[in-house]
Structure 1
Amino acid sequence: MTQGEQTRLDGGPNASSAQPAQISRPATKRTQLITLLPTKAGADIATIGDRLGWQPHTVRAGLSGLRKAGHHLEKVIPGPGKATRYRIIASQAAAPAGSDSHGG
């Protein structure tokens, strides 16, 4: 090995110029759930379960988790015999800075 090669291997100028590889992570289930809900029609529990591979009780728990995280969900009851649909109408992050719901 030459001196120049040792410099690169030991963290010389050529070693520091390399950028670490960006690893893209798949979207989380919560993120996928959030993307299903902001549409005008929203989504029903069966559709959400099919898309995410969740059972109905897990879908309901996920919706509760979104509420606890500050998302405002609307429950839409389309009519007799039709499935109840849910959609996000607002989130705490999207609310103006001075508009908290604690009344203080």
Structure 2
Amino acid sequence: MTTPIAATQNSDRNTKVAKKPTRQKQLYKMLTRKSGVTIAQLQQTFGWQPHTARAAISAQRKAGRVVDRAETDKGSIYRIVEMQGNQ
């Protein structure tokens, strides 16, 4: 049986714990950076295989976001492009 004091202590403890951002939110944040993100960076950050990183980027496209890909000497850089009409 829980006493009112114990219930208060449990609720205080739960409110102080910060939630970790989901992988989708972390991915979105990386894709919206000015410098963009490479497949290698996604692999290192999330521990994904290259095909998993590409699938996650594809999922962003399917969600309606415009993802731009630019070729550089480091490889492909992906970034989400904000459309003029969406501002």
Length-normalised TM-score, structure 2: 0.72
Length-normalised TM-score, structure 1: 0.62
**Distance in structure 1 (CA, Å) of the matches to 2:18 and 2:63:** 24
Shift of 1:40: 1.9
CA RMSD of aligned residues (A): 2.7
**Distance in structure 1 (CA, Å) of the matches to 2:30 and 2:38:** 10
**Distance in structure 1 (CA, Å) of the matches to 2:68 and 2:59:** 14
Which of 4, 19, 24 is residue 18 of structure 2 equivalent to? Answer: 24
Any conservation in 2 of the 1:37–1:86 contact (CA below 8 Å)?
A: yes
Higher-Rg member (1/2)? 1
Q: In the TM superposition, what are the counterparts of 1:1-104 in structure 2 within 5 Å?
A: 18=8, 20=11, 21-22=14-15, 23-78=17-72, 81-90=73-82, 95=86
Identity level (%): 33
Consecutive aligned runs of 4 or more in structure 1 exceeding 6 Å deviation: none
Structure number with greater CO (CA < 8 Å, separation at least 6) is: 2
Shift of 1:95: 2.1
| Structure 2 spans left out of the alignment, 5+ residues | none
SS in 2 for 1:25: coil
